[in-house]
Structure 1
Amino acid sequence: MGKDYYNALQITRSAKDADIKQAYRKIALNFHPIKNPSDKHAADKFRESAEAYDVLSNPKRKAIYDQFGEEGLKSGVPVDKNNWSDPYTFCGDPHKIFHEFFGGDNPFADFNQHAELDKSENFGGLAGRGRKKQDPPIERDLMLSLEEVYHGCIKKMKISRRVMNDDGHTSSFKEKILTITVKRGWKPGTRITFEQEGDQGPNSIPADIVFVVRDKPHPIFRREGANLIYTQKIPLALALIGTTIHVPTLDGRVLDIPITDIVKPGFTRSIPSEGMPLIEDPNKKGDLIIEFDIEFPQYLNSDNKDFIKRALIPNAYKKEEKSKKQNVQLKSLNSFED
């Protein structure tokens, strides 16, 4: 039989979120190792209550546990035709759950009967009071298309964060929308910081949430600095005789670019001011760099080869014709002698 998380917190299945928090708070304080040193039974209860709270305080885990029990929770269950839920594994550290709930390792520091513990800064006692530390920044990728960076846009990012309840001891999860105004020309690696939007705790300063700009892969372009790189396929014949190529832009235009030079391997054409906006002055832009991918024919018949030889190796063709003429003359002389 699987674990009974409701029994571990001494609550019923009809318990609400506030009931779950209150039950965990009571049990965690009663069986905390600080109050019960070297007591194995208390240590076990402390750990069981932490795991039970970790499951029941999370709506998704609670829903899976209520329907499928511990086995379904820890093995994963189907959520639709193609996907399963992630298997749940307890972190194994009840002190981590306790710390996240209370915001510190020693909730007894506020009580006079535990004043002897207050001198320990490691346990959030008097020596550490008034010295709240901020949690490390939380970084998230902000994936942007080249069009979004080219034109600028508004992005709304939904986060879920732990906030302190009015009682100052318990907390709950709430969703919040963060609005990011994407400026034209933002480069990959640009960091946008929302101060103290991380999880709240009674004895800590919420972490900053930092979004880091990343480029989404683009089907046509890639960017290098403020320049856009475009690859144009071109048949070998047109690479030799010239052509006009039609190059799209991020703002929907099409540029007609005449190519009069012979396109060799490594040949590029630069179109000024058709790249990405410059972050320091969005009215100015980088360049559009056109690279060429020369397509060679897969097959040539003898006539094709002869034609190319005449066009590209005229001297070799003349020597071949001269050699043939000499052979004809020699054959005629031999015939005359006979």
Structure 2
Amino acid sequence: MDKDYYETLEINRNASNSDINKAYRHLALKCHQPNYGQTGSVEQFRQLGEAYDVLSDPQKKAIYDKFGEEGLKGGTPPEYGSSGAWSSRYIYHGNPEKTFKQFFGGDNPFAAFVTNDAPLHFGGLRPEEMKMQDTHIERDLHLSLDDLFHGCIRKIKISRRVMNDDGHTSSIKDKILTINVKPGWEEGTRITFPKEGDQGPNNIPADIVFIIRQKSHPVFVRQANDLILKAQISLEKALTGFSVDVKTLDGKRLNVPINDIVHPAYKKIVTGEGMPLSQDCSQRGDLIITFDIQFPENLSAEKKQLIKQALAFK
């Protein structure tokens, strides 16, 4: 009597490649060591290996579906093939351990989960529940200060390995990840895309993490939510007063009067003209203007005397 490979794997004849893989995984783990001591386990394990070896191969499966075990192992007639000759006979290699290792990638599908020399007891625990996740992948995302002030959308294409429907083979596919950058995000902000790394039959894909890196700006230096602007002024202006024209990141033109005497540690704070707060975009940090005072390289005796006279007044 012909063997019923479908019955051996406990599936119907309409089973997909994914169904075949899942059935073999489930039954092979039940029959594999250390369960060989049970009556019939060794023979059942061999039958499972042969059934999977046939049904997982499209050509062998097609011959078996049409001609049964007799046609598979005895060879099919010329009219079935395209070469005009009888097909070669199928012979199972007879080593179910080889089939098992090829499927799981090793002789112990749970090797990564055994710790402290403690054996794992199957007890109905499904392999999917014991998979370990790959280490997360970090990538820098460089953004301008303007991007972080206004917010923006960035689309990033990644290429990753994806499991095919058979649950055993894989292919490389592209995917677009979309990042909605919020106004006010700071350097070091992390955006995580869970489980978007490479897929595999025995792993949980890694998380992909993008880390915000801020590009330098030609005018402003960011300090938390504040913006620092350094203005160069002459000693004359430092002593007599002046105004600073500032074009802000949102396009406004500010004219900031400086009526105080500007000393080296002096700062002018313009409230509410800094970066938006990421928690509340209606709130903003401050604009802080610092000064680089340009002293004259030399003075004539006459100018020195005039300065002395000017500074002598109280």
In the superposition, the TM-score normalised over structure 2's length comes to 0.60
The residue number in structure 2 matching 1:301 is 300
Letter in 1 for 2:100: D
Task: Report 1:40-55 matches (<5 A).
Answer: none
Local SS of the residue matching 1:283 = strand
Please state how far the C-alpha of 1:123 moved relative to its aligned partner. Answer: 9.2
**Is the 2:100–2:107 contact (alpha carbons within 8 Å) kept by the matching residues of 1?**
no
Q: Distance in 1 between matches of 2:284 and 2:102?
A: 67
Please state how far the C-alpha of 1:172 moved relative to its aligned partner. Answer: 2.7
The residue number in structure 1 matching 2:39 is none
Letter in 2 for 1:312: L
Unpaired segments of 5 or more residues in structure 2? 1-96, 115-119
Residue 129 in structure 1 maps to residue 127 in structure 2: yes
Q: Distance in 1 between matches of 2:172 and 2:261?
A: 64
Q: Distance in 2 between matches of 1:177 and 1:284?
A: 33
Could you say if the C-alpha distance between residues 307 and 203 of structure 1 is closer, same or farther in structure 2, counting changes exceeding 3 Å?
Answer: same
Could you say if the C-alpha distance between residues 219 and 126 of structure 1 is closer, same or farther in structure 2, counting changes exceeding 3 Å?
Answer: farther
Letter in 1 for 2:290: E
Please state how far the C-alpha of 1:204 moved relative to its aligned partner. Answer: 0.4
Please state how far the C-alpha of 1:110 moved relative to its aligned partner. Answer: 3.0
Q: Distance in 1 between matches of 2:209 and 2:103?
A: 42
Larger strand percent: 2
Task: Report 1:74-89 matches (<5 A).
Answer: none
Please give the per-residue CA displacement for 1:255-296, whole angstroms capped at 9, x wherever unaligned: 101100000011001111101111121011111111111111
Q: Distance in 1 between matches of 2:223 and 2:237?
A: 28
The residue number in structure 1 matching 2:241 is 242
Q: Matched residues, percent identical?
A: 52
Larger helix percent: 1
Letter in 2 for 1:225: A
Please state how far the C-alpha of 1:170 moved relative to its aligned partner. Answer: 3.0
The residue number in structure 1 matching 2:273 is 274
Residue 145 in structure 1 maps to residue 144 in structure 2: yes
Could you say if the C-alpha distance between residues 167 and 140 of structure 1 is closer, same or farther in structure 2, counting changes exceeding 3 Å?
Answer: same
The residue number in structure 2 matching 1:322 is none
Deviates further, 302-311 or 247-256: 302-311
Q: Distance in 2 between matches of 1:268 and 1:299?
A: 27
Report the count of equivalent residues: 208
Local SS of the residue matching 1:219 = coil
Q: Distance in 1 between matches of 2:305 and 2:297?
A: 16
Q: Distance in 2 between matches of 1:120 and 1:109?
A: 16
The residue number in structure 1 matching 2:206 is 207
Residue 110 in structure 1 maps to residue 108 in structure 2: no
Task: Report 1:186-201 matches (<5 A).
Answer: 186-201=185-200
Please give the per-residue CA displacement for 1:53-97, whole angstroms capped at 9, x wherever unaligned: xxxxxxxxxxxxxxxxxxxxxxxxxxxxxxxxxxxxxxxxxxxxx
Letter in 2 for 1:219: P
Please state how far the C-alpha of 1:215 moved relative to its aligned partner. Answer: 1.2
Could you say if the C-alpha distance between residues 309 and 199 of structure 1 is closer, same or farther in structure 2, counting changes exceeding 3 Å?
Answer: same
The residue number in structure 1 matching 2:251 is 252
Local SS of the residue matching 2:146 = helix
**Is the 1:163–1:199 contact (alpha carbons within 8 Å) kept by the matching residues of 2?**
yes
Please give the per-residue CA displacement for 1:12-60, whole angstroms capped at 9, x wherever unaligned: xxxxxxxxxxxxxxxxxxxxxxxxxxxxxxxxxxxxxxxxxxxxxxxxx
In the superposition, the TM-score normalised over structure 1's length comes to 0.56
Q: Which has the higher contact order (CA 8 A, sep 6+)?
A: 2
Please give the per-residue CA displacement for 1:130-168, whole angstroms capped at 9, x wherever unaligned: 311111111111212111111111111121212223443
Please state how far the C-alpha of 1:245 moved relative to its aligned partner. Answer: 1.0
